[in-house]
Amino acid sequence: MNAFWVSTLSQITVLAFDLGASSGRAMIGRVNLDRKTVTVEELYRFPNGPVRVGRSLYWDVLRIWSEVKEGIRRACAKYGDELVSIGVDTWGVDFALLDNNGELLGNPHSYRDPRNQEAMEELLRKIPRERIYERTGIQFTPINTLYQLYAMVLVNSSQLRAAKTFLMIPDLFNYWLSGAIASEFTEATTTQFLDPRTRKWCFDLLEEIGVPTGIFPEVIEPTTKLGRIRKELAEELGVSPRIEVVAPATRDTASAIAAAPIDEESAYISCGTWSLVGVELSEPLISRQAMEYNFTNEGGAFNTITFLRNIQGMWFIQEIRRILAMRGEEYSYEQLTKMAAEARGFLAFIDPDNPRFLAPINMIDEIMKFLEETGQEKPKSVGELVRLVLESLALKYRLVIEQVQKLTGRRIRRINIFGGGSKNWLHNQLVADFNNVPVVAGPDEATSMGNVLLQVAGLGYIKSLRELREFVKNSVKLRVFEPNHTSRHEDAYNRFLDILEKTGGL
């Protein structure tokens, strides 16, 4: 379908790949320019997850690539020449290294790899936190790319010495799709070595820790057209060589926030494997207090900053479900939610950000150990366990949102929860109850919608973030959860703060 015909029909069809840490999806987006509406449809889903070899965790990116190709085949088989473009978003912080021939030097490590904690501690003995934060505005967590690279420096990695090109994970897939070598801004900010004000790599920091700086590509903006799909790839898949590859906000959170119905009185929670809690800003907020609260200034679409804290989110429920299945107890997410809704509340709490929960062998055992060490009652059923986790998440969100208000001077009057976690009604209600503000839930497909609409913006049909959000507003019915706040919620919050103080979480 040529561009003139697309414009005449006022409908554009694009393919969005939303590659998450637990699953990947190929989503078809249909955008009606006259009605200003967008629909997304899941075309293909496949599992994803890190692969453990010895003590290390890796991503099997070649298998993911084979699934991406299968998604393209299915999309073109169903929509043919209607398909105009492809865009990829993924999780943050992880990367791949290429050699002189543009070939992969090895399987990328997962951000949950245990090597990162030691590297972070060692690096922060070398360079003060204040200097790193002033340059990058990114929160300190061992998952960051900065510490992953330094872990390679510490062992004199042959891969790092041989590397010609550094690509973040979505940039790798864009390279395999189009041949273009570039680093998209929103993903690049998750590295903790990009200045969000100048949008340039912090080469001085990298040189100081021994990372070669000649491997880093040009930083490009979200909505950049990267070129058409590679000719040899089009031939292999039997698809049109005219399909454009467009970089949306390749950081999945940034694509999701672009599609979120938020304003200056809203905090957001982008809820999936991780919960990302914060507000949208027009420029970075880099201060000593922001550093002490450990807030991050990641890049957003249309020259915005996603000012937020990363909190481990539905990872807990995913891992609890996995461990139960290993024990022969199979539950759906809906069943776990129902059991939690019927279980005792206010029983005990965990700190979702305690490092012990980052990559435990057995999440249930680790939660029980935390409760034992903090002198709290242990859950007696699966429902009590799941409710304990969901209440702990709601309490951690409250702490973060209170900190946001102190840092920005804003009054938060509502919380918008979007992403897959927004489908969990109990989670949404607990967030409303513990924070004592209404929760607006949806869109649950915020990431895919943002990806789709940012591709359409890259094709020239959407000119602003406000206009993009009009498409979402016209297309999605949001759900509102009113708070049922009592003195018990206040007592629970004070107990939670005491636990954080005892365990070093404050």
| Neighbour count for residue 385 (Cβ, 10 Å) | 27
Distance CA 308, CA 271 (A): 12
Q: What is residue 37's three-state secondary structure? A: strand
| Neighbour count for residue 506 (Cβ, 10 Å) | 11
**Helix axis angle, 487-503 to 425-435, nearest 10°:** 90
Distance CA 450, CA 222 (A): 11
CA distance readout (Å), 232 to 73, 178, 237, 241, 271: 14, 10, 9, 9, 38
Residue recorded with tokens 């399987």: 107
Distance CA 302, CA 153 (A): 35
Measured in whole angstroms, the distance separating CA 307 from the mean position of its chain's CA atoms is 13
Task: Please pick, among 252, 351, 353, 433, the residue that the annotation labels catalytic.
Answer: 252
Catalytic (active site) residue 89? no
**Helix axis angle, 446-458 to 465-473, nearest 10°:** 130
Distance CA 313, CA 310 (A): 9
Within 327-461, residue ranges assigned H as helices are 333-341, 363-373, 382-408, 425-435, 446-458
Closest by Cα among 312, 372, 308, 386 to 344: 386
β-strands 165-168, 183-184 pairing:
unpaired
Asked if 41 and 1 count as a contact pair (C-beta separation under 8 A), the reply is no
Distance CA 370, CA 349 (A): 9
DSSP 8-state assignment for residue 58? E
Give residues with Cβ within 8 angstroms of 221, minimum separation 6: 184, 185
In a 13 Å sphere around the CA of 9, the CA atoms on its Cβ side amount to 12
| Neighbour count for residue 260 (Cβ, 10 Å) | 24
Strand partners, 503: none
Q: What is residue 349's three-state secondary structure? A: coil
CA angle 500, 299, 168 (to 5 degrees): 95
Burial group, residue 52, by CB count within 10 angstroms (0-12, 13-18, 19+): middle
Distance CA 453, CA 31 (A): 8
Measured in whole angstroms, the distance separating CA 21 from the mean position of its chain's CA atoms is 9
CA angle 224, 226, 228 (to 5 degrees): 135
Residues belonging to the active site = 252
